[in-house]
Chain A
Amino acid sequence: MTLIMPAPEPEILSRRDELIERLSAILPAQNLIVDETARRAYECDAFTMYRALPLVVALPETVAQVSAILALAAEMNVKVVPRGSGTSLSGGSMPLEDGILLGMSKFNRILEIDYENRCARVQPGVQNLAISKAVEGRGFYYAPDPSSQIACSIGGNVAENAGGVHCLKYGLTTNNILGLEVVLMGGEVIRLGGKHLDSEAYDLLGLMTGSEGLLGVVTEVTVRILQKPAVARGLLLGFASVAAGARFVGAVIARGIIPGGMEMMDKATIHAVERFQPCGYPLDAEAIVIVELDGTQAEVDYLVGLVEAIARDEGATTTKVSNSEAERLQFWAGRKNAFPAVSCIKPDYLCMDGTIPRARLPEVLAGMDEIAKREGLQVANVFHAGDGNLHPLILYDASIEGEMERAEKVGFDILRLCVAVGGVLTGEHGVGVEKRDLMGEMFNETDLDQQLRVKCAFDSLNRLNPGKVFPTLHRCAEFGMMHVSDGKTPFPDLPRF
């Protein structure tokens, strides 16, 4: 199973010198990376399985420069791949050999903090965690907290609609931003939203969020900031089976409790974590669940009591409740170490990201185990239990011939299983190139055609991040006028990869 990207267009490659010359008129020399060694640094993002050397790397610092670059790209018919911090796990910012890599890292300023209106205006290259750091002095924070929050940029968060462990209660990126400034392919600058709520027309702000850099380049984000909960307490619970753990999670929600975080880990992960850095997880448990309750002191204490009772009813084999901040963080330490810990079992892992209806967890876990065994591989699981978002880690050794391919096959089969039980391909990592060829598992041709038409409304030349998300190329001009009928594929002559 090899990833096939659109073939580099000879016409673009042959005009590289002209492109560089015209980019030099827009950007200072130090903001344009031309030589091969320096370009190598950008050849992949956090999805490292596939790499490509970008045609040229442009690092604009102003909206005018972004606009001029996109106008030039449209005029010269050159592809553009936007990139934030390059932490995408799905290859969303993987470069194209015939494309400009548009790095937004120099857009790194917090423009305004407006405490009265509970929001901040930031440039897209600002790191997720830097926003919380900037407002924590007055007790505020920015809610979405992807694991990569120390490195990932808010612009990338918008592109991927990033989540985190607290999103069941506090929402994803899309629920936590108020406004965007966007440069369209062709150079037009538009503003969506602002400091107010909801839209005067179509919710293009919501559409842009999670569009994986295919619709426009974000140059400013207005985020909501929230007051930090007064207190947070954790519970560490062990269960004799995954099914019992899943029943517990369902019972908590059925009781009307929405915890700030609710994470599950399976036995393989528990043991890996305990070997890596012991943090007191019960080794006899088949699954553990970490529950975090946050809010006011009185409410949290009351809810801790309720959750303890539910755990007892559901037959928890271990129950620990944090009585200090240090103890709460100790519960989380293993979860936060889970990814490096499993690297001790095998040197490489593929992290999947399907979401399933939570009730199907036991059968999906059993199914994943079977899929992995068929290929002679092992899967370790961490799981955002509250919202059904699974992160199976498929362990492999890239130095062993064929193992990476087998790991990919396991990953694809696991995602097919997620879709088959009513779930989805990706909960928070994005489709990118990684899951592009699986889109047909979830959507039929007509569904995908509608999404492609939306793409055409923004980028009629299909120059912005092509080859990502959708398994087929298309021509917008004919597309728009064409009525698809009887499920027939329009344009059978167009390349599929």
Chain B
Amino acid sequence: MDAALATLDIRDAADAVEALRAANARHKPLAIVGAGTKKRLGRHSPLQEQISTGALTGVTLYEPEELVLSARAGTALREIEELLDAHDQQLAFEPMDYAPMLDGAARHATIGGVIAVNASGPRRIKAGAARDHLLGFHCVTGRGDIVKSGGRVMKNVTGYDLSKLVCGSYGTLALLTEVTLKVLPKAETEQTLLVLGLDEASSLAHLRRASGAPHEVSSFAMLPAGAAPLRLDANAALLRIEGPEISVSTRRDALIAQLGDSGARFETLRQAESVALWAALRDAAPVAPHSGQVWRVSVAPTDGIKLVETLRRFGAPILAHFYDWAGGLVWLCLEPAEDAHAAAIRSAVDAYGGHATLIRASEEIRARVDVFHPQPAPLAALTKRAKESFDPGHILERGRMREAF
């Protein structure tokens, strides 16, 4: 267990205001912790006092017909997902569970943490990330002000869209107290079409072909031969098809007809198997069990394979990898190195455009190597000014994202 200096349990926004004003007065940084499942994510900083949202729980609004749900930030994701499931609804952005990757307790994340890292899963291309589902929030800013933004309706352009800003801010701007989310119906059924036996480049080309066809595929991943969770004897392009049964089968057949000219073999995973597969890919199962440093890289779909080929050419010791988002999301696990291969990976990514995040490495390395992709100077300066517009004293999560704040 990581030690911490002290933990303040807050019951409500007023408690958070008090804690943040006091921290501002003492110039003392504060970390935010929900269930602690992501505490090994981000830059490593010296020990800080913590605010815990553990007592800030409960779904405060759920209207299935309006597709909207509000919950206090410390509410367990599991509780929300079970409630939605009972109404055949879901968080369509499929938040990743970091536990298998970072040795946390499985399925313990809080909704606040999910928003703070802008979680997204294999349905990203079709359904979006957390950012696309956060309709509004209440928070206490680093300055100690109670602030709300957005609302509970689907369509709202009243004022700046601060929801986008807090999604993926790792708690560096504000402590979220309550979030309001767009929820969506679950598909009646799903299947996954496996396109087997092609080399990596052609498997990825098949994903892109499928993504340019009107068959409404909802996820596009590529699993190298032998990789978990399927451990197949050949490479597999994986296409998830969701909807009413009649539609799913028709679309699967249409995809087979479209892609059948390549000499590939086709197999189909039905409902339960398909659900289990995408949950595993969501949690990066192909790379998580390997001991090594893990990177998550987002580039244009055509550039994912180029990145991997470049790294191979330079002899990067890749232990495991797989692709999601039609080839645009690359998960890599590499043998440990002093700089976690940051220079090699980032220079390759910079050649295409995109970003690479160091997801798993030792504390010592995460204190020294940029965990988040470095920014050009004007953008870095603007980012710091945005941070200071919420938290001028650099109180919240000091050093979690950037050394500069």
Stretch from A30-38, A236-244, A449-457 forming part of the interface with B: A449-457
Is A472 an interface residue when CB atoms closer than 8 A count as contact?
no
A160 to B155, CA, bound (A): 12
A357 and B153 within 8 A (CB): yes
Point out the residues of chain A lying under 8 angstroms from B147, CB to CB.
446-447, 450
Decide if B383 touches A201 in the complex (CB within 8 Å): yes
Residues of A with C-beta under 8 A to B64: 254
Known contacts A196-B300, A443-B148, A450-B390, A202 near B208 by CB under 8 Å: no
Looking at the complex, which of B105-113, B209-217, B310-318 is the stretch in contact with chain A? B209-217
Q: Residue among B373, B389, B402 with the most chain A CB within 10 A?
A: B389
Knowing A163-B155, A202-B169, A230-B214 touch, does A190 contact B378 (C-beta < 8 A)?
A: yes
Asked whether, in the complex, the Cβ of B168 is within 8 Å of the Cβ of A199, the reply is yes
Expressed in whole angstroms, the minimum distance between the Cβ of B191 and any Cβ of chain A is 14
Q: How far is the CB of A473 from chain B (nearest CB, A)?
A: 16
**A 419-452 to B, binary, CB cutoff 8 A, 1 in contact else 0:** 0001111111111000100010011001111110
Q: Which chain B residue shows the least CB distance to A388? A: B153
| A-B CB contact pairs (8 Å), 12 listed | A175-B132, A192-B379, A195-B353, A197-B120, A197-B129, A200-B373, A211-B160, A358-B66, A424-B151, A425-B158, A439-B158, A450-B149
Chain A residue, CB-CB nearest to B379: A190
A336-357 contact mask (Cβ, 8 Å, vs B): 1 or 0: 0000000000000000000111
Q: Complex Cα distance A456/B160, Å?
A: 13
Do the beta carbons of B151 and A423 come within 8 Å of each other? yes
Q: Does A480 contact B (CB under 8 A)?
A: yes
Chain A residue nearest to B389 in the complex (CB): A453
- Number of A interface residues in the complex (CB < 8 A): 101
A484 within 8 Å of B (CB atoms): yes
Contact present for A451 and B165 (CB under 8 Å): no
B211 near A450 with CB under 8 A, answer: no
Q: Which of B149, B215, B244, B302 contacts A117 (CB 8 A)?
A: B302
Q: Give Cα A481 to B393, complex, Å.
A: 10
Contact A451 B159, beta carbon cutoff 8 Å: yes
Mask: chain A, 191-210; 1 = CB below 8 Å from B; 0 = not: 11011111111111111011
Tell me the B197-212 residues at the A interface (CB within 8 Å). Answer: 208, 211-212
Give me the interface of A with B, judged by CB distance under 8 Å: 114-119, 139-140, 160-161, 163, 167-168, 171-172, 174-175, 184, 188-192, 194-207, 209-211, 215, 227-230, 250-251, 253-258, 295-299, 302-303, 355-359, 384, 386-389, 422-431, 435, 439, 442-443, 446-451, 453-458, 469, 480-481, 483-484
| Contact A450 to B145, CB < 8 A, known contacts A359-B65, A427-B155, A458-B382 | yes
Known: A207-B161, A449-B145. A424 touches B378 (CB 8 A): no
Q: Could you tell me the distance in whole angstroms from the C-beta of A234 to the nearest C-beta in chain B?
A: 18
Taking A190-B379, A201-B383 as given, write out 5 further A-B residue pairs in contact, using a Cβ cutoff of 8 Å, ordered by the A residue number: A256-B89, A295-B216, A442-B151, A443-B159, A458-B382
A198→B118 contact, CB < 8 A: yes
CB-CB < 8 A to B63: which residues of A? 357, 359
Q: Among the listed stretches B229-237, B245-253, B259-267, which one makes contact with chain A, having 4 or more residues with CB under 8 Å of it?
A: B245-253
Assess the B302–A116 pair: CB atoms within 8 A.
yes
Q: How far is the CA of A140 from the CA of B212 in the complex (A)?
A: 8
Q: Of all chain B residues, which has the CB nearest A215?
A: B160
Q: Which 4 A-B pairs have the closest CB atoms?
A: A206-B164, A299-B247, A256-B185, A200-B355
Please, how many angstroms separate the alpha-carbon atoms of A250 and B66 in the complex?
Answer: 7
* Docked-complex contact A447 and B385, CB < 8 angstroms: no
B223 interfacial contact with A, CB 8 Å: no
Instruction: Please report which residues of chain B, range 129-166, place their CB below 8 angstroms from some CB of chain A when the two chains form the complex.
Output: 129, 131-132, 141, 143-149, 151-165
Nearest CB of B to A395, in Å: 24
Give bound CA distance, A85 to B155, whole Å.
23
CB <8 Å contact, B65 and A250: yes
Instruction: Give the shortest distance, in Å, between B179 (CB) and chain A (any CB).
Output: 15
CB contacts (< 8 Å) of B354 on chain A: these are: 194-196
B128 within 8 A of A: yes
Contacts of B372 in A (CB 8 A): 200-201
Enumerate chain A residues within 8 angstroms of B50, measured Cβ to Cβ.
none
B382:A206 contact, CB within 8 angstroms: no
Q: How far, in whole Å, are A481 and B389 apart by their CA atoms in the complex? A: 10
With beta carbons under 8 angstroms apart, the residue of A189, A428, A447, A480 that contacts B389 is A480
CA gap between A323 and B314 in the complex, in Å? 59
Q: A118-B212, A174-B164, A296-B216 are in contact. Are A387 and B154 (CB under 8 A)?
A: yes
- A299 contacts across to B, CB distance below 8 A: 243-244, 246-247, 250-251
Closest to B208 in A: A116
- Which positions 94-134 of chain B face chain A at CB distance < 8 Å? 118, 120, 124-125, 128-129, 131-132
